[in-house]
Structure formats: structure tokens, C-alpha cells
Structure 1
Amino acid sequence: MHRKTLKRLALSIAVVAAIIVAAVGVAAVGNDYRFTQTAVQIPMGVGHLEGVLTTPRQGEAKGLVVVVHGDAAVEATQDGLYFPWFEGAADAGWATLSWSKPGVGGSSGNWLDQSMDDRAAEVSAAIDWALGEQQVPTDRIILWGASQAGWVVPKVVAERDDIDGVVAVGTAINWLSQGRYNLLAELDRRGATTAERDQAIAESDRVRELLARGASYDEYLAVTTEQSPMSADRWAFVGRNAKADATDDLRAAATREIPVLLMVGLHDRNVDVGETEKVYRDVFGTALTVKSFDSAHSMARPIVEDNAVVGTTVGLLWPRALLAPDVIDGYRDFLREIG
């Protein structure tokens, strides 16, 4: 090989190596979080839940934030996506308890076997466990719940007298209304034709009718045209919870007169946050603080949800930047105001 070619090749290799080293360095800094994490195991009936407890690196924690997941098979840290939330709480002087859903990450059971009442009982049992553990700071307890947790958190608050505040992130009010909102929003995003919209809505109506009469999984398969239809477990889960509506539980929770922070994304295609905000304001009155962000449903910047390459790159190198500006600041400020 020519000597000049060898030099150019060597230079190219050096440049690539420098870029890789720089990227690794950035990723190391970007993934260094200001909290201490400890694995915990929470007894739950005949099984257990695998979880994590995060605490501030310095000083005693003022209390405990209990994480209540949204939908899907979520492990304790949501594969690291919860780390900015854990850090925000730690910066405010709070510990955080989170666990993998039943059947996920070593936890016993199957989360798809649960109703929203089951989920609330699970959260309450985890709080009772925490209260009995000396290493878990429980002087004050905050519930942090996202999305589907909107049907879980109010039940827990209404049934207990030791919850000191709530952070509701992109929560919905009515299960079926939320599903219809999401369907229409996704059709709009895809630029669906009138015929495509009519077909999707008609199929959705047929599925809703099946859910209303408790139809079998086979009946659902005969109706759906989805390329990836729900599994049998998922169909049973949806059937078990499709009538969920948070309104009555929210009213019961409001009698506790505790501060509530509602965090909503202005680009949320999953939940009608306008409806959620209206109901929450009507129910909680002056106890409610609403903070809106230039974000998607998950509080992430819209671009990282809509562009897989951008999302993956940001997630690897600087995962804090996945969330929209001021999201963690708003969360941290709320915790500081409480204690």
C-alpha cells in the first residue's frame, strides 16, 4: 500500500478512535447520577417484588417517593429512564422506591392478571413494607404515578391516611375515552385518509362492544385487523379494566386535602390532558398545581419519541436530555415545597 495512503488510513483511524473515546467519555458523564441505589426485595403474598431504593448521596432523606408505573411490562428503573426522576428527588432530599411489575425483572406473578384495584393493593402493601423497614425513610410519603397510574394512585390515597402528596404525570380519567383519544391522535399524526379513519373507528367500536359484553379472545381475533393483535393475556387485562374511570376515586382522594402536582405534556397523543386538567381542577381546587411542558406523553422531548435515531443517541450519551426542559426542575421544586 502506498505510504500516503497508509498515512491517510492511520489518520482516519485516529480520528474515529478519538470520536469513540469522546463519546464514551460523554456517556460516562451523562450517565453519572447523583443518588445511591440499593436493591430491595418486597414480600408480596406468596411471592415478592424486585425493587430499588435510591437515596441522596449526602444527608438524611426527608421522606419517600413511591413510584407507580404506567402501562406495559416496566422494570424498576424503566431501563434507566427513571434515573433523572430519581436524581431530581435525591437533589430535593427525598428517597425513591420503585419495583419491577409482577412477572418482570425477577418479580413474581403476572402484571396482566391485575385489575386497577389489584394494582392499588400492591402499592399499599409495598408502602406497608417500607414502613416496617428501618433503612427506608418514611417520615413523609409521596406517590408518583404516570399514565395508567391515574387509575391507581387515587385509590391508594383514598384508602390511607399517611400519603402526604401526589405527583401525577400524564394521567387519564376514563379508560375508553383515553383509548379513543389516542386512536384519533395517531390517525391525525399519520395523515390517515377519511376511509382509513372510518375503518379504524368502526373497528374500535366493534372491539368496544366486545369488551362491554365480556366477549372471548377468539371473538376479538375474528374482528381485529391489527397486524399485531393483543395477546390473550392482554385481552383479558383490557377486559378487566376497560370500565375504569378515576373520577370517583379522585373525589375520595381529595378529602385528604394533600398537595397534588399534575404534569402534562402539550404534545401528548396518548391522553387528553385538557380533560384531565379540567377534572383535576374541579376535584382538587387550590390543592392542585398544574405544570405544562413542551413534551410528549412520557414528558420526553417530542423529537426523541418521534425519531428513533435521535432518541437512541440521546438515551445513550445524555439521557437527562430525553426529558423536556424544566420537567425535573418542576418536580424537584414541588418536593422541596413539601419538605
Structure 2
Amino acid sequence: MENAGGSAAAPDPAAAPEGVDRPRRWLRRAVVAVGCVIALAVGAGAWVVYVNDFAFRRQELTIPGPAQPLHAVLALPEQGDGPFGLVVFVHGDGPADATRDSFYEPIWESFAEAGYASVSWAKPGVAGAPGNWLDQTMHDRAGETEAVIEWARQRADIDPRRIGLWGISQAGWVAPEVAANLPGLQFLILVGGAVNWLRQGEYNLLAELRHRGATESDIAAALDRRAIGLRLLRENATYEQYLAAGYDPDPMSEARWNFVRANYLSDVTAVLPRLELPVLLVLGDDDLNVDVDETERTYRALLAPELLTVQRFPDASHSIAKASYENDRDWRATATALFAPRALYAPGYLDLLRDYAGSRPVR
């Protein structure tokens, strides 16, 4: 440093020799940096807690089921003693706990805002629940759902005149059967509901392959393998016969094979004409699991027009999540689920559920 006269300033005799204070400066900087990280972490943690604090009261309970007790969650509106309306949740395929890994919680909040409770339960064998969901047929699942509704109708905090169903995907073979068997239900909301098991399986296979950029030869080979599997199903092949065929590069478990064998003829078309309640069909235009065009055509053909409302969401996946999140397994989906869970869904979806349930008259 130079002084005002332009000559070099004399060294300060009180200053420490060069280099002696560097460790202290480094330590101070490190402490500041760690403090910033901690502050950010605490702030992020507080934000995660805040955005995952949903506006409903949660009760964990056990509901008597037709085969075994059901481990359930009841999500009640924040205020009041009821009686509330109730939305009964019906899962899609695969193992699922009561919250579907928290994916349902923003939906429960929307229903709670409309004055409805929500109830959902873990599939048998999931999250400590007794039984094995792979032992169930679609008819078994319908009977399980009916048992939950009968349980709910006995509760003082539930209005038995205002009970509706929300179901997704495989629930397309379950929820309509329940609605046909229990004509007093208020409404049915079906998200990406499948119509025919075999056609849905082929659509899903081709849609996934094409989305991943598979070649025509890869697609042809996959269809050949599928044809072998269908032949074995028609022949009611045992698991040992399925394995011996050697066509599946990633063989399913014995329980899964038996589940498919028991359910592969599922089709909802015979049930739909029996429905007499309002139906909201929610479809994502980028659904890779279900042919939503077929679903819409089928429901429009078999339901009375005054009963059916169809809402399609562009750039939305099977679960009405933003398409890139689900279809491309985008890392942003995990971050969004943690830091902004309501933003996982296509814009307008949660509002649609709240408004549809809230506008239903008592039947």
C-alpha cells in the first residue's frame, strides 16, 4: 500500500508476521461457511415441514375387512365434528400403503377443503398389514371396498348420504363394481381408469417402448414375447410352466404370476351400464399406462351423458402428475415431492377435485 506522498508505507510493527494469521482467517471463514450451510439446512428443513403440513386431521385406525383387518388412515377436515362427506380411496396396481407414499395427501387436503373426509388403507401385506394383496382378485378388492363403506356408514362423524369413491388405474375394474353394487353412493371419480386388462397391457408395453425410443425390431420382439405369455395364460399354465417357457428376460414372482392369471380377463364394459351415479373421468393426455382415448370412448358409449363429466389434462401423466416427472422419472419429481408436493400435479387438478366434490348434491 502506498501513502499519500507516493512513498512506500512503513510496515506496522504491531502487525503479525505474514502467514501467522492465515489459519485463523481460514477457521473464521470455515465457521461462517458451516454456519451458512446449517442455516440453509435449518431453513430448508423448516420449509419442508411447512409445505408438508396439510390442512386435515389424520387418524390411524383398523377397519374390519372381509378377509383380514385393514390398516387405514382417515383424513378429516381441520374443523368441526361432522358429519362429513367421505371419499373412499381405491389404489391402482402394485404394493401401496395407505398414503401411497404420501402422494395422496395433497388430494386429501383438497377434499377436506370441500368438507369431505378421506379414507384409504394399506394393501394386504404392505406396511405391516396382514395378508397378501397378490392373492386378491378385482372382485376381492371390490368386496374389501364395500366393507369399508359399510364401516363408514356406522360412524357418527360421516354422513352416509355423501360417500363417494376416488380410484386410479386398476381401480377401473374395482370402483365401478362397488358403485354398481351400492347404488346409494354420491359420486365416482376415476383417474386414468383402465377398461380391458389385455388391451391395457399391450398399450402400456408399446407406449413405454416408443417413449424410450425402442427400435421396430425391439418392439416386434417384445410383442412376440407377449404372445407367448398370453398363450400360457389362456392355457392356465402353472408357474413352473411359465418359467420353463423361458421367454421372459425378467421373470415375475410366483405370486405375481398367479395374480395375473387370476385377473387378466378383467373388463369393465359389462358393469358400466349399471351405474346410476355421477362419474368424473380424469385423464392425462400423456398417460403411458392406459389408453385414455379408449377409456373416454367407452365411458361415453356406456354411461348416460348426464352422469358423465370428462376432464383431460394436457402434459399430464397417468397419475395426473406433470408428464416429465412421471414419464421421464425426472429428478425434479423427488425435489418437488419434498419441497412443493402440491406442485407435483397438473395445474388445476387439485382444484377440480375440491370443486367437483363440493358441488355434488346429496343423493
TM-score interval, smaller chain? over 0.9
CA distance in 1 between partners of 2:324 and 2:215 (Å): 24
- Kindly state the Cα deviation for residue 336 of structure 1 after the two structures are TM-superposed: 1.3
| Aligned pairs, number | 336
- Kindly state the Cα deviation for residue 142 of structure 1 after the two structures are TM-superposed: 0.3
Say yes or no: does 1:244 pair with 2:280: no
1:214: which partner in 2? 236
CA distance in 1 between partners of 2:177 and 2:286 (Å): 28
**Alignment counterpart, residue 27 of structure 1, candidates 32, 48, 54:** 48
1:288: which partner in 2? 308
CA distance in 1 between partners of 2:284 and 2:111 (Å): 20
User: Does the Cα contact within 8 Å between 1:151 and 1:244 map onto a contact in 2?
Assistant: yes
User: Does the Cα contact within 8 Å between 2:161 and 2:185 map onto a contact in 1?
Assistant: no
**Alignment counterpart, residue 37 of structure 1, candidates 58, 62, 65:** 58
- Which AA in structure 1 matches 2:205? L
Say yes or no: does 1:12 pair with 2:33: yes
What secondary structure does 2:140 align onto? helix
- Kindly state the Cα deviation for residue 61 of structure 1 after the two structures are TM-superposed: 4.8
2:153: which partner in 1? 131
Scaled by the length of structure 1, the TM-score of the pair is: 0.95
Q: Deviations over 1:269-299 (max 9, x none)?
A: 0000000011111122221111111311011
2:7: which partner in 1? none
- Which AA in structure 2 matches 1:204? R
Unaligned runs of 5+ in 2: 1-21
- Kindly state the Cα deviation for residue 308 of structure 1 after the two structures are TM-superposed: 4.5
1:58: which partner in 2? 79
What secondary structure does 2:288 align onto? coil
Say yes or no: does 1:275 pair with 2:275: no
CA distance in 1 between partners of 2:246 and 2:337 (Å): 34
- Which AA in structure 2 matches 1:296? S
Relative to structure 1, the CA distance from residue 210 to residue 62 in structure 2 (aligned partners, 3 Å threshold; closer, same or farther) is same
**Alignment counterpart, residue 229 of structure 1, candidates 244, 251, 255:** 251
What secondary structure does 1:74 align onto? coil
Unaligned runs of 5+ in 1: none
Say yes or no: does 1:155 pair with 2:177: yes
- Kindly state the Cα deviation for residue 3 of structure 1 after the two structures are TM-superposed: 3.0
Scaled by the length of structure 2, the TM-score of the pair is: 0.89
User: Does the Cα contact within 8 Å between 1:95 and 1:137 map onto a contact in 2?
Assistant: no
Relative to structure 1, the CA distance from residue 197 to residue 269 in structure 2 (aligned partners, 3 Å threshold; closer, same or farther) is same
- Kindly state the Cα deviation for residue 136 of structure 1 after the two structures are TM-superposed: 3.4
**Alignment counterpart, residue 203 of structure 2, candidates 172, 176, 181:** 181
- Kindly state the Cα deviation for residue 159 of structure 1 after the two structures are TM-superposed: 1.1
**Alignment counterpart, residue 189 of structure 2, candidates 167, 171, 177:** 167
**Alignment counterpart, residue 200 of structure 1, candidates 206, 209, 222:** 222
1:260: which partner in 2? 279
CA distance in 1 between partners of 2:271 and 2:67 (Å): 29
User: Does the Cα contact within 8 Å between 2:87 and 2:163 map onto a contact in 1?
Assistant: yes
Q: CA RMSD in A?
A: 1.6
- Kindly state the Cα deviation for residue 335 of structure 1 after the two structures are TM-superposed: 0.5
1:3: which partner in 2? 24
CA distance in 2 between partners of 1:6 and 1:265 (Å): 54
- Kindly state the Cα deviation for residue 12 of structure 1 after the two structures are TM-superposed: 2.2
CA distance in 2 between partners of 1:45 and 1:192 (Å): 44
What secondary structure does 1:148 align onto? helix
Say yes or no: does 1:113 pair with 2:135: yes
What secondary structure does 2:294 align onto? helix
What secondary structure does 2:155 align onto? coil
CA distance in 1 between partners of 2:187 and 2:356 (Å): 10
CA distance in 2 between partners of 1:18 and 1:58 (Å): 34
2:166: which partner in 1? 144
**Which one has the bigger helix percentage?**
1
- Which AA in structure 2 matches 1:145? G
CA distance in 2 between partners of 1:106 and 1:21 (Å): 32
Say yes or no: does 1:47 pair with 2:68: yes
Identical aligned residues as a percent: 43
